[in-house]
Amino acid sequence: MITVSKRTLLASALLLLSVSPAMAQDSAQAEQRRHAQAVNNYEGWMRNQAAGTYVDQAEAAAAAQIRANFRAAEKDKIRKDAIRDWWGVIVVSTDDGSWNVQLNGQDQSDTMLTAMKACKGTCSPVLSFANSCMAPAYSQQGGLYWGPGETRELAATTAVNACTAAGGSSCQSPPKESFCSGWKYAYRAVDRFLHRADMTARGDVAAAKLIDFPGAREYIAKPPERRGKSTAMKAVAPAASQDSTRAWIKDEAAEGMTRMAKPWTAIAAGTGSNAYAVHWGLNEQDASDTAVSKCGGGDCKVLVAVPYGECAAAVRVGKTGGPVASFGGRGKTKEEAEELAVTACITSGAKVCPVVMNECMK
């Protein structure tokens, strides 16, 4: 039988009384921690839900802004398209007489560069046009003529009329070879109406434009066997470093222009007071023959012909109503060309030698 003294019982009771408050305190703190964790978990869950909604809304807003930007850019493009010039450039190969065209360019020079690069062999621009249609006409003799018009049909009629007026026979314009460049041809009529109805596009449209390249129309109007042999301009040296993208692009753009037919300028003169003409052609034969044909006198002949980069001078001496004597000079400079022409005049015995032309073909 175990006997417990009163002193022992009293000590045990005091021990229990001292431990119970501490245990109770720890339990309360643990409960508080669990509650706080639960609150944190709930708040975190709520934040995740809000974040998800925010992300969805942000993505939708970004997509809406992108669509708005696209619509704004498209409207801006339409506004510019409605009033800008839509350039086209026609280029001919002086090697075989074939031609090609570049359409709907925003810049005339850039469009010409693109057209020249697409042409094979030695080539020359024929004409630039904008906001209209163009059509070719061919004569039985082999001449090529171009005509503008508001429609392909009107352009073809203009081309055939030009061919006939120049003395061509059996002039024809193949319907499949006409083309147009401009706002009214690139956009459907219903689209143009709608864009104007919603005020996106203005009512005014750029006017038709036509710019001939010097000498090219006369060149292509001749039969191929009478056009002469053209040579290309001196090639441009490539960039020293191909690491430069800008230099590479510049070389690429200029590549077609290095193959441009080197032009010549010829001066023809006769003994008549009005028997005088100057012509810029695509080669020496072309320039010379055309200058003589434009001279206006039965005894006209070539006074001087110079290639691109050189200078020519002409002296004309004569009395009103009487025959006129002409003298020409060719040189690297104006002074050199003039010296040769004036010297020839003085050698002939003339006392006065007026220079009627002294120009460098550059």
Find out whether 275 and 295 touch, Cβ atoms under 8 Å.
yes
In percent, how much of the chain has pLDDT > 70?
72
pLDDT digits (tens, 9 = 90+) for 290-349: 999 999 878 999 999 999 999 999 999 987 678 999 999 999 999 999 999 999 999 999
Residue 113 has pLDDT above 80, yes or no: yes
In percent, how much of the chain has pLDDT > 90?
58
Residue 38 has pLDDT above 80, yes or no: no
In whole angstroms, what is the distance from residue 306 CA to residue 232 CA?
Answer: 15
Per mean pLDDT, which range of 76-90, 264-278, 287-301 is the poorest? Answer: 76-90
Residue with tokens 């090697």: 95
> Which pLDDT belongs to residue 326?
95
Give the pTM. Answer: 0.74
Backbone angles phi, psi at 322, to 5 degrees: -105, 175
Find out whether 142 and 133 touch, Cβ atoms under 8 Å.
no
> Which pLDDT belongs to residue 82?
80
> Which pLDDT belongs to residue 224?
93
With CA atoms as reference, report the closest residue to 172 among 160, 185, 181, 180. 160
Banded model confidence at residue 248, pLDDT cuts 50, 70, 90: very low
In whole angstroms, what is the distance from residue 38 CA to residue 352 CA?
Answer: 116
Banded model confidence at residue 196, pLDDT cuts 50, 70, 90: low
> Which pLDDT belongs to residue 50?
56
pLDDT digits (tens, 9 = 90+) for 202-243: 777 789 999 999 999 999 999 999 999 999 986 544 444 445
